[in-house]
Copies of this chain bind each other. A is one copy, B any other.
Amino acid sequence: MSNPTTTVSMRPPLGCAAVMMQVLRGELRERELPFTHQREAIAQVLFESTRHLSADDVAAALRQRGEHAGKATVYRTLALLVELGLAAEHDFDEGFKRYETQVGAAQHDHLICTECGRVSTFHHPELDRILAEVAAEKGFETITRQVKVFGTCSESATCREAQRTYRETGPIS
């Protein structure tokens, strides 16, 4: 048994964003795709954020850092990150997409408040099992899945109010 206080690696903690950036660099190299300044900057913004960012949010964040990337580049890069498995794309029915860092295969799902727009996440291991079962049963090879629960949260007074109204009157008021 090894001494629990002994660590194998003494590398200084890089932080999640830095690790992700290393991974990105490697993935690009492997595919012989250039690691451009824009790709770095856009990935940086995404990796350092814990929120779900729209393409516009990313562009705004870049501007705030004194960086700049064309609209087309932002979209292209986000699509690339999704392809590489480093980002996940979400559609919360707002009329546009949102993106977030995807660390490994750590699947999680979303609760979306239709009142205030807050998005909270959850992970339920049984979900994975059930969906895998269903797919297997149907001869389906799963690539990805989306589980979204729309409703009203209880974070703010207005949302709690909406909850009450909804419970009383149903979908049409």
A residues sitting closer than 8 Å to B (CB atoms) are 31, 83-85, 91, 93, 111, 113-114, 120, 122, 124, 126-127, 130-131, 133-135, 138-154, 163, 166-167, 171-172
Contact = CB atoms under 8 A, between A and B. Distances in A.
A141 B163 contact: yes
Contacts of A141: 151-152, 154, 163, 166-167
Please state the number of chain copies in the assembly: 2
B146 A142 contact: no
A114 B142 CA distance: 10
A127 B124 contact: no
Contact of A130 (B83, B126, B151, B172): B126
A97 to B, nearest CB: 10
A157 to B, nearest CB: 13
Given A91-B91, A146-B146, A122 B151 contact: no
Contacts of A31: 172
B127 A140 contact: no
B111 A138 contact: yes
A138 B152 contact: no
A151 B160 CA distance: 37
A85 to B, nearest CB: 6
Contact of A149 (B142, B151, B172): B142
Contacts of A139: 153-154
